[in-house]
Chains A and B, each alone.
Chain A
Amino acid sequence: MAGLGIPEGSLRRPGVQRGDAGYIAASAVTPWLLAIIAVALAQVLRFGPVENALAFQAYIVYAFALSALASGPVALVAVRTTNELVFLGQLEKVPTLIVASVVTGAGLCWLLTACIGLIAGFSASQLFWTSLGTAALATIWPISAFAGSIREYSWIVWSFVLGFTLAVILSVIVSTFEADPAVEFAAFAAGLAACGALLIARILSVFHAPARAPQAALHALWNAILDRKVLLAGSALAIAVLWADKWVMWFGPLSIQLRNGLVSAPMYDSTMFLAALAMVPALAMLAVAVEGPIRQSLKGFIAAMRTQGTLSTLQGEAKTLRQQVYATLIRLLVVQACASLLLAFSSPAMADALGFRWQQVGILRLGALGSFFQFIFVSVGVLLLFLQRTQEFFWIAAFTLIAVIACTVATIVLGPQYYGYGYLAAMAIAAAVAVMTLDHTLTNLERLVFQDAVREARR
């Protein structure tokens, strides 16, 4: 019999233990939280002129965007391929695939940074340190994705805590020498790379196998990418969605050009980063739910297929899964709504405390409300990927990216009083489309799974 469309490999891991839940939640949000805290700390503790501080901040913002964009999609493809290799028992192929994907992500990131550096007019030294630092930063996303896939959540949390602490310490030390901000950034990235090194050591100790030739590993990765082009493109688009409004604003009236040639819009960026923090509690709960009850329900559905359940059994399991997903989403949306409203209502106080300008209060409020809808987009994306609905994931990501760009451009055209509305409107539309897509998927899950299996068999 041909495959059933959903590789069982990703479902073979045991259910979530009670002690794991906290780590899963923490590992889902730790990198994000720590990044913001680390940047803030590095700003507060560092020495040197203010211009250097702005340049350092811009390097970090660019590095986070570029590293995620360059290495995230490759990581997702590699993690999914790894799951299949584990399911097929081909463990010897896993370590080299992991290393190849990490190196490929870093290489792409290095290339992208170098291009942007050249466009911005970086000096040779700046070009060297920033591309090196960004490439180092790019290694941690695939590594943490692999660590997550083998359920090493506690390792993720503690590695990140250690790595970010080291990053802050190193960058502060370098700043005392009044070095170029690019070198400070490289020191910061080195601290993070240490976290990646720790994690990869842990992963390779799980998948211990003799190393294969690098060409073979790259070839395997390339084949995996070709097999999963839609997943690669969809994840690249989804990552771009998280940054698109900011990128557009970098070329609007709020844009400033730093001495190193980079442009950014700190007034908009910092407000939106803060607004995005409203998603942290619900995202943590989403990670726990996906790894726990939703995974269990999906396992029930797959088991019904594999054990030759009748159609009514299959439909019953699909209904259970559907109810589980909806119940979880509703619960998470309540949490998200509370967090968003809390942030929206406390915007003036937050702005005061953080020294924001008065214009940023409105943007923060809209960002907080927008984060409610962005959470819907993110959670639907996660669920679609979990259900192997790559095509649907691609389309909602593409639609959302276009909506975000179009609406943000529209707000620039309409004027400063509309800043933030574009993001809110785009996310509201995207959330509606995402929910409809998820509902269609869950309502037709049996058909879609078998339909995919037929297509796979015909390939």
Chain B
Amino acid sequence: MTGIPAFDRTNGEAVDVCLVVEGCYPHVAGGVSSWVDWLMRSQPDRTFAILSVVAGPGPRKPLYDYPRNLLRLDEIVLDPAPPKGRSKVPDQTDADVLISAFCDVLSKGNGDALDRVVEFTSRKHRPLRPWHVGDTSLMWAVACGVYERVTPQAGFSDFFWAFQALAGGLVAILSAELPRARIYHAACTGFAGLVAARASRQHGQSCILTEHGIYTNERRIEIAMAEWIVDSIDYGLSPDDDRIDVRRFWINSFESFARICYEACSQITTLFTDNQTLQQALGAAPERLRLIPNGVDLDRFTPLVASPPNGPPTVTLLGRLVPIKDIETFLEAVVLARREVPELQAIVAGPCDEDEDYAQRCRALARKRGIDDIVSFPGRIKAEDAFARTHIVVLTSLSEGQPLSVLEAGAAGRPCVTTNAGACREILEHPLDALPDVGPGGIVVDILAPNQVADAIIALFKDPSRRKRMGHSLRTRIENGYTSEQAAAGYSALYAQAMNSSVSVEPAAPERERPGDTITQERMA
């Protein structure tokens, strides 16, 4: 199995910005990956490095052409394959120090404790490495020690695997080599946020954070829904039960990671105001918070505004086929809407390879509900192509950041029906600062409510003038608050400010040769 080949064209010079991303660019299409690609291209005068945090050794392949100002790319594998032969582990006598450090990092979000773990990972002699976690008597003692202190009533098996993932990932992050950069810019909290925090704490580098969705919240939803975690503590109805089971341990750990990241970052940006409330609740200092909404290239979509579609009434959901997008609710809504709009056609356009089982389930549902003749799954296609035959854009996500598909729909003058997730309501309904009220750009419904989605679709098809009015309103909203130029200017100012406060550039360790360097550099050339 292979990951993305690393490359380095910095010639030993520091780049302006090291973007730290987790589980997205360059091997996942859409979402934050698209934003990363756009961000680098929108700042052509700045140089970038990418640190891509990934779960395992692969296989992965890049889905984007690298921009010219991306000079270096490395992966940090959270659970890397151990090297051949035995590597020496820290002494068993260090167990107590490590137990305290891991407890403080994982359950208290204590940045000083992070430094104590860094002492172990940066030692010249017997450094701690991620493959030691779970595979040495020292780290077994540490796992048992953390368990006894933090979750002594929880099921041990699930705790062990949670600790394996969290502590192993933490050690991987803290033992990875960081590219030289003036600013470290994390695209989320979690492990990526810890990289930025480490750069700040260890080297005094300027570090900023941009959260699209709130990582901690997304993990919370994921963990709350996880069937692979067994609930071994019955909390009953007691809100004050301070026992910690494995679900809480997971969530507490991600909250702790977020706290460490927020504490380290001088600027914390997000896409919409609701997110800032959550960030503050997790410990982000209000004075560091900023809003930089995503932007969309209006020119790409302007021709569509001028020529609305003539074909059959069509609704499109543009997004990855993954559970968090709740495609099933969309399909159920299509079933209901078809009763009132018999000519209805539906498109689910987005990559299917991220969760193939879910994609299969969606196709099976369409067949089962008898709508496979009106629903198409064309895979990943250009938004312009999809919108050219679309009347209404639908988004049924359970959780969102600031969905690009809604911005693009607005740029194309298409009204939207969205769930009340992320920035959707803000984009569609909130008053604009510099303009008179232009009316809503679509209809916002509850999550997991196919009836409401269907009703909204029906209402817009039954009232073409309302549909057109909403499409026009959304276009106006995008023009006035969500253009690429505005977003690029926001990040440019952010970087300028961060660079002014950046004090030093830590010299990098001598570069190791990586397999794949040559190939990648040739390809880049």
* A contact residues vs B (CB 8 Å cutoff): 1-2, 4, 305-311, 313-314, 444, 447, 450-451, 454-455, 458
Contact status of A450 and B134, CB under 8 A, knowing A308-B157, A311-B144, A458-B79: yes
Across the A-B interface, the 3 shortest Cβ-Cβ residue pairs: A308-B155, A454-B134, A308-B232
B140 part of interface (Cβ distance < 8 Å):
yes
Indicate if the CB atoms of B232 and A311 lie closer than 8 Å. no
Determine the chain A residues whose CB is within 8 A of the CB of B156 once the complex forms: 305, 308-311, 313-314
B13 part of interface (Cβ distance < 8 Å):
no
B73 part of interface (Cβ distance < 8 Å):
no
Closest A residue to B136 by CB, please name it.
A451
Indicate if the CB atoms of A306 and B157 lie closer than 8 Å. yes
Indicate if the CB atoms of A310 and B155 lie closer than 8 Å. yes
Closest B residue to A312 by CB, please name it.
B152
Among the stretches B158-166, B210-218, B323-331, the one at the interface with A is: B158-166
How far, in Å, is B194 (CB) from chain A's closest CB?
22
Interface size on B, residues (CB 8 A): 24
Contact status of A311 and B140, CB under 8 A, knowing A1-B161, A2-B161, A450-B134: no
Indicate if the CB atoms of A451 and B82 lie closer than 8 Å. no
Indicate if the CB atoms of B228 and A455 lie closer than 8 Å. no
Determine the chain B residues whose CB is within 8 A of the CB of A308 once the complex forms: 154-158, 230, 232
Contact status of A4 and B157, CB under 8 A, knowing A311-B152, A447-B140: yes
* B contact residues vs A (CB 8 Å cutoff): 79, 81-82, 131, 134-135, 137, 140, 144, 147-148, 152-158, 160-161, 164, 228, 230, 232
Determine the chain B residues whose CB is within 8 A of the CB of A305 once the complex forms: 156-157
- Return the contact of A1 from the options B148, B157, B232 (Cβ within 8 A): B157
A444–B144 Cα gap in the complex (Å)? 13
A309–B158 Cα gap in the complex (Å)? 10
19 A-B residue pairs with Cβ-Cβ distance under 8 Å, sorted by A, are A1-B228, A307-B155, A308-B155, A308-B157, A309-B155, A310-B154, A311-B144, A311-B148, A311-B152, A311-B156, A313-B156, A447-B140, A450-B160, A451-B134, A451-B135, A451-B140, A454-B135, A458-B79, A458-B131
Determine the chain B residues whose CB is within 8 A of the CB of A458 once the complex forms: 79, 81-82, 131
Closest A residue to B162 by CB, please name it.
A1
Determine the chain A residues whose CB is within 8 A of the CB of B140 once the complex forms: 447, 450-451
Determine the chain B residues whose CB is within 8 A of the CB of A447 once the complex forms: 137, 140
Determine the chain B residues whose CB is within 8 A of the CB of A311 once the complex forms: 144, 147-148, 152, 156
How far, in Å, is A305 (CB) from chain B's closest CB?
5
Indicate if the CB atoms of A444 and B232 lie closer than 8 Å. no
How far, in Å, is B352 (CB) from chain A's closest CB?
26
A310–B82 Cα gap in the complex (Å)? 29
Closest A residue to B156 by CB, please name it.
A311
Indicate if the CB atoms of B164 and A444 lie closer than 8 Å. no
Contact status of A310 and B152, CB under 8 A, knowing A451-B134, A454-B135, A454-B164: yes
How far, in Å, is B22 (CB) from chain A's closest CB?
20
How far, in Å, is A452 (CB) from chain B's closest CB?
9
A279–B148 Cα gap in the complex (Å)? 46
Determine the chain A residues whose CB is within 8 A of the CB of B157 once the complex forms: 1, 4, 305-306, 308-309
A428–B256 Cα gap in the complex (Å)? 56
Closest A residue to B154 by CB, please name it.
A310
How far, in Å, is A390 (CB) from chain B's closest CB?
17
A313–B153 Cα gap in the complex (Å)? 10
Most buried by B among A307, A311, A447: A311
How far, in Å, is B114 (CB) from chain A's closest CB?
24
Determine the chain B residues whose CB is within 8 A of the CB of A1 once the complex forms: 157-158, 161, 228
A sample of 11 more A-B contacts (CB under 8 A), given A305-B156, A308-B154, is: A1-B157, A1-B158, A1-B161, A308-B158, A310-B152, A310-B153, A311-B156, A314-B156, A451-B134, A454-B164, A458-B81
How far, in Å, is B101 (CB) from chain A's closest CB?
20
Closest B residue to A310 by CB, please name it.
B156
How far, in Å, is A233 (CB) from chain B's closest CB?
19
How far, in Å, is B248 (CB) from chain A's closest CB?
14
A444–B141 Cα gap in the complex (Å)? 11
Determine the chain A residues whose CB is within 8 A of the CB of B154 once the complex forms: 308, 310
A2–B160 Cα gap in the complex (Å)? 11
How far, in Å, is B53 (CB) from chain A's closest CB?
18
Closest B residue to A305 by CB, please name it.
B157
Determine the chain B residues whose CB is within 8 A of the CB of A450 once the complex forms: 134, 140, 160
A33–B230 Cα gap in the complex (Å)? 51
Determine the chain A residues whose CB is within 8 A of the CB of B164 once the complex forms: 454
How far, in Å, is B25 (CB) from chain A's closest CB?
25
Most buried by A among B137, B140, B152, B155: B155
Determine the chain B residues whose CB is within 8 A of the CB of A451 once the complex forms: 134-135, 140
A1–B155 Cα gap in the complex (Å)? 13
A51–B482 Cα gap in the complex (Å)? 102
Determine the chain B residues whose CB is within 8 A of the CB of A310 once the complex forms: 152-156, 232
Closest A residue to B160 by CB, please name it.
A450
How far, in Å, is B95 (CB) from chain A's closest CB?
13
Closest A residue to B245 by CB, please name it.
A308
Indicate if the CB atoms of B137 and A444 lie closer than 8 Å. yes
A78–B15 Cα gap in the complex (Å)? 57
How far, in Å, is B267 (CB) from chain A's closest CB?
38
A47–B282 Cα gap in the complex (Å)? 94
How far, in Å, is A440 (CB) from chain B's closest CB?
11
A99–B156 Cα gap in the complex (Å)? 41
How far, in Å, is B185 (CB) from chain A's closest CB?
31
How far, in Å, is A451 (CB) from chain B's closest CB?
6
A447–B137 Cα gap in the complex (Å)? 7
A429–B145 Cα gap in the complex (Å)? 37
Closest A residue to B164 by CB, please name it.
A454
- Return the contact of A455 from the options B135, B152, B161 (Cβ within 8 A): B135
A71–B469 Cα gap in the complex (Å)? 81
How far, in Å, is A139 (CB) from chain B's closest CB?
39
